[in-house]
Amino acid sequence: MTIYSAARRALRGVALLASLALLTGCLSMKAYVDPALPIVTKADVSAPAAPKPVQLAFEFRTNGAANAAASSQIRPRVATVAAESGLFSTVSGEPVEGGAVLTIVIDNVSDTGNAAAKGFGTGLTFGAVGSMVTDGYVATATYEQGGRRLEASAKHAVHTTIGNKAGPEGLTPVTLQQGVEQVMDQLAWNLLKQLDDKQAFE
């Protein structure tokens, strides 16, 4: 099972639209990553002179409820971002020397009722009208070490169209898998940058 299949379970409204697309056999599905969240890369964070190990605790939620399947699939992406950032000497799922713990929670907040209504209408018209549904993500992070606790938060979104519906102006369409992966990575990078700006890892 890929990150796409796990995250797709979380995107309940989008999954309904995808099912309709398969049933009609003629509907196209495109995803657009919202541009509001700044793009952060390794060049935007300052690795400490002597990085310390960290324990990563990660949870993915769907409308506030824990989603174990998505958590297990998405955690490796978040861990990879943390490792590639250079902010830590090692990233582990177990307690580490020094007791540092980085906790990241990503919650997929979706309007499933509205998405269902839009998707049903699209299916009836075989894509002649088209629909767009937006899945929002709210992410939080806490870094605890030596009695010190710092927090960060970020929001992101994926806009998904099906049928003859134009996407958000100026955005390049990608697959749903690519869209979800980009959102997960950028949420993790933004959270780490915020913590780095607060000198959490010095």
pLDDT of residue 129: 57
Burial 55-94 (b: 16+ CB within 10 A, else e): bbebbbbbeeeebeebbebbbebbbebbeebebbeebeee
Alpha carbon of residue 198 to chain centroid: 23
Instruction: Please give the full DSSP string across 106-164, using - where no structure is assigned.
Output: EEEEE-HHHHHHHHHHHHHTTTSS-EEEEEEEEEEEEEEETTEEEEEEEEEEEEEEESS
Block residue for tokens 């979380």? 10
pLDDT of residue 128: 52
Answer with the residue of higher pLDDT: 19 or 57.
57
pLDDT of residue 29: 86
Determine phi and psi for 41, rounding to 5 degrees: -130, 180
Q: What percent of the chain has pLDDT over 70?
A: 77
pLDDT at 79 over 50: yes
Q: Do the Cβ atoms of 191 and 56 come closer than 8 Å?
A: no
Average pLDDT in the 17-35 region?
A: 68
Q: Which DSSP helix (H) or strand (E) runs through 180? A: helix 176-197
Instruction: Please give the full DSSP string across 22-68, using - where no structure is assigned.
Output: HHHS---EEEEE-S-SPP--GGGS---SS-EEEEEEEEEEETTEE-H
Q: Is 166 helix (H, G, I), strand (E, B) or coil?
A: coil
Average pLDDT in the 81-97 region?
A: 98
User: Per-residue confidence at 132, pLDDT binned at 50, 70, 90?
Assistant: confident
CA pair distance 6, 77, nearest whole angstrom: 13
